[in-house]
């Protein structure tokens, strides 16, 4: 059995920030745990957007707080995200992830699992810019 608490992960190398400061992710379970998936609690900061393309992973993301949206660059559709929204990137969709008026709190599951120590060179993740959405 594994029992972990988020406060034991914060301030360790399993707590990772985007190079541009758009998000922080606490990686609760990683490849080394041997489960076949990784589990992350990610906060996307209000007023930011991040371009993401997980070329080599599928990801399920469940929102437990905040306000934002995902723009699917494959379909051209934009979906609002609030508490209770699930989105699943089961087709390696390129997307913009935006938190608008409140920090998005997301529980994320990856298959295959993220190894964990990769930070800024995580395969398929390309955070690009921090935007002032409210002035757009
Ligand atoms: C929202 C999202 O895709 N989170 C993924 C986890 C985060 N990018 C990490 O742990 O590196």
> Is the C-beta atom of 16 inside 6 A of ligand 1?
yes
* Spacing, Cα 134 to ligand 1 middle (Å): 24
Model-level pTM?
0.89
Render 86-126 in DSSP notation, one character per residue. EEEETT---EEEEEEEEEEEEEEEEESPP-SS--SS-TTB-
According to the model, what pLDDT value does residue 134 have? Answer: 45
Could you tell me the domains of the chain?
24-111 (2.60.120.10)
User: Could you read off the pLDDT of 73-120 as tens digits, one per residue?
Assistant: 999 999 999 999 999 999 999 999 999 999 999 999 999 998 876 555
* pLDDT for res 119: 52
> What is the distance between the alpha carbons of residues 136 and 131, in angstroms, rounded to a whole number?
9
- 42 C-beta closer than 6 A to ligand 1: yes
Query: Of the residues 114, 117, 119, 128, which should be mutated to test ligand 1's pocket, given the most ligand atoms within 8 Å of the CB?
Result: 114
pLDDT tens digits, 21-76 = 999 999 999 999 999 999 999 999 999 999 998 888 899 999 999 999 999 999 99
- Residue 99's DSSP bridge partners are 48, 68
């Amino acid at each position: 059995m594994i029992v972990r608490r988020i406060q034991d992960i914060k301030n360790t190398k399993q707590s990772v920030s985007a190079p541009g400061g758009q998000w922080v992710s606490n990686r609760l379970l990683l490849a080394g745990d041997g489960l076949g998936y990784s589990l992350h609690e990610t906060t996307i900061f209000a007023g930011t957007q991040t371009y993401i393309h997980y070329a080599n992973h599928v990801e399920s993301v469940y929102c437990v707080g905040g306000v934002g949206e995902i723009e699917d660059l494959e379909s051209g559709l934009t979906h609002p995200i609030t508490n209770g929204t699930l989105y699943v990137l089961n087709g390696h969709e390129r997307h913009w992830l935006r938190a608008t008026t409140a920090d998005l709190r997301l529980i994320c599951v990856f298959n295959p699992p993220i190894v964990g120590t990769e930070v800024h060179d995580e395969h398929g993740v390309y955070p690009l810019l921090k935007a002032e959405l409210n002035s757009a």
